[in-house]
Structure 1
Amino acid sequence: MTTPNDRPEPPARAVPRPNAVVGVGLVVTDADGRVLLGQAHDGRWELPGGKVDPGESFEQAAARELAEETDLRVAPGDIRILTVQLSPEAETTRLTAGAVTGSAEGTAKVTEPHKILRWRWFAPDGIPEALYAPSAAVLRAWRPELGPTLPPVPSYDYPTP
């Protein structure tokens, strides 16, 4: 095919197929330093969080997911990104931002009962061992001294300043 100036059209650029899941896990702390975890139907505990939608920052996604999952509210500006993690063991590349806030307002409640059975606050030294792997990796980035009490989860961690 030629253009009006009799030059060949450049070939269409090959676009890579999506091969990753991008998400955020949010460590929510209360005034007593406890962390909020939700118990899934398989018994494992997890941080609030989820996939980052197109056009969202990690902070915006974390605030949205927190509100959707718990009815707690926080401004994206009150969320700090701790780390970005790449999981080396998943079939699909998993890129997770670990974030933290101590500014959430409201009372945590189950708003997605098909995903979470209950929300509960835990002292850092009382976090259960049965954790969703990405949540364990984010918790380790948040409090490295918890490492021996958390399940081993391989990840490539890229701490943020």
Structure 2
Amino acid sequence: MPAEPAVQPSRNTRPPAAQAALGVGVIVQDGRGRVLLGRHHSGTWELPGGKVDATHESVAAAAVRELREETGLVVDEASVDVIAMVHDVIGGINRISMAAVVRLASGAPEVTEPHLISAWHWTAPGELPSPLFDPSAQILAAWRPDLGVTHPPAHVLRIAPAEGRT
């Protein structure tokens, strides 16, 4: 009787070693075109945002969640426009930051994490304060290259807008 062929394990039996972190930075614009920035206790200014949860959470859902958790502002996931992916490397880990834009008709941000952010301010894009948190600077530069935002080197992949959205 011939020997049966050896069964080869599936290539995906073990997940790859983690080598990347995925986050989202949210550019929130008010009715006057100003951008929402938070003053971190470290002295930098930053956009709302954070990590995308490893729970099958979408980038848009993470943007909505982080915005609500950090500012108390509530938006619908459909109102989030993901415009770019920014990629850099910190400490040997690929850092992937998704740039998202949300436009608000109204709403007042609250300091919901006072141990991190001391205040939220609306700022005209041409009058951005410094220093900016590096990932926030990279996202703002991807959004509006014309602003001349200084930031650490990063690869930027622009994402085409969804059909019918402006």
By the TM > 0.5 criterion, same fold?
yes
Contact 1:40 1:117 in 2 (8 A): yes
What's the counterpart of residue 3 of structure 1? none
- Tell me: CA distance 1:144–1:89, structure 2 relative to 1, closer, same or farther (3 Å): same
Structure 2 counterpart of 1:44: 44
Q: Distance in 2 between matches of 1:12 and 1:45?
A: 47
User: Which consecutive unaligned segments of at least 5 residues does structure 2 have?
Assistant: 161-166
Read off the aligned partner of 2:109 and give its amino acid letter. A
Aligned equivalents of 2:159, 2:9: Cα separation in 1:
40
C-alpha distance in 1 between matches for 2:114 and 2:84: 29
**Alignment partners' CA distance in 2, 1:151 and 1:158:** 18
SS state at 2:74 partner = coil
The alignment-based identity, stated in percent, is 43
CA distance in 1, matches of 2:57, 2:98: 13
Q: Secondary structure at the match of 2:141?
A: helix
Q: Determine if contact 1:47/1:135 at 8 Å carries over to the other structure.
A: yes
Contact 2:23 2:96 in 1 (8 A): yes
TM-score by length of 1: 0.88
For normalisation by structure 2, the TM-score amounts to: 0.86
C-alpha displacement at 1:151, in angstroms? Answer: 2.0
Structure 1 regions of 5+ residues with no counterpart? 1-5
**1:81 counterpart SS class:** strand
Residue 36 (structure 1) shift? 0.2
Seen in structure 2, the aligned counterparts of structure 1 residues 92 and 35 have a Cα distance that, compared at 3 Å, is: same
Matched positions, count:
155
Alignment correspondent of 2:70: 69
Structure 2 equivalent of residue 160 of structure 1: 159
- Aligned equivalent of 1:30: 30
Contact 1:89 1:154 in 2 (8 A): no
